[in-house]
Amino acid sequence: MSLSKQHQQFPTADHDHQHCVERALHEAENYCRKRGVRLTKLRHRVLELIWANHRPVGAYDLLQQLTLDGHKAAPPTVYRSLDFLLEHGLIHRINSLNAFVGCDHPGLDHSAQFFICHSCGQAAELDDTKIESAIASHAKRIGFSIERRSIEITGVCTHCEGEHSDA
């Protein structure tokens, strides 16, 4: 699958979000089938809830959603699903928010960077080669062996910049 450029920027208010969700769920299903791991009903639902929009969502918000579903869940229920989804690269954790967001292109061993708008709350996942190579190059220079990256840039997105309130 190719990496569409549409994902390299902030989603507009009128984008076809249903498409985002369906695509994400399909990709997750395919990924899990190929890898022989189980995208159980619970995990599927958690992933779907995370994809409700492009805003990182907290574990306890997810818990509340599950409860609204009628699913009497406790924290480990949701944390275990989150662990599974993280482990398989289907979601990302946003450390600066203690929250989780769907991965735009799961399965790829990609280096992700997040631009997070504190006005609309949305996060855009990027895969910028220059940022990644600048980091890789510095790591090489100091002999550092990279395992994980957490790159979170907070500010105001282009859609919110021109608005009346908050900004």
Partner DNA sequence: CGCATAATGTTATAATATAACATAGCATTA
Partner DNA sequence: TAATGCTATGTTATATTATAACATTATGCG
- Residues at the site binding a copy of itself, with contacts judged by CB under 8 A: 8-10, 95-96, 113, 115, 117-118, 124, 126, 128, 130-131, 134-135, 137-139, 142-158, 161
How many residues of this chain bind DNA (CB under 7 A)? 21
Q: Contacts from 145-149 at CB under 8 Å and sequence distance 24+?
A: 149/111, 149/112, 149/113
Binding-site partner at residue 124 among DNA, a copy of itself, none, CB < 5 to 8 Å by type: a copy of itself
Under a CB-based contact definition with an 8 Å cutoff, are residues 157 and 143 in contact? no
Stretch binding DNA (CB under 7 A), from 5-13, 53-61, 107-115, 156-164? 53-61
**Quick one: 66 or 114, whose CB is closer to a copy of itself?**
114
Q: Does 81 bind DNA (CB under 7 A)?
A: yes
Among 17, 71, 110, 159, binds DNA (CB under 7 A): 71
CB of 106 to DNA, least distance (A): 17
- Determine the Cα–Cα distance for residues 151 and 86; give it in Å rounded to an integer: 16
* CA 82 – CA 9 distance, rounded (Å): 25
**Smallest separation (angstroms) from a copy of itself to the CB of 167:** 9
* Stretch 3-42 residues interacting with DNA (CB under 7 A): 37-38, 40-42
How is 26-95 classified by DSSP, letter by letter?
A: HHHHHHHHHHT----HHHHHHHHHHTTSSS-B-HHHHHHHHHHTT----HHHHHHHHHHHHHTTSEEEEG
Q: Which residues bind DNA (CB under 7 A)?
A: 37-38, 40-43, 58-60, 71-77, 79-81, 84, 98
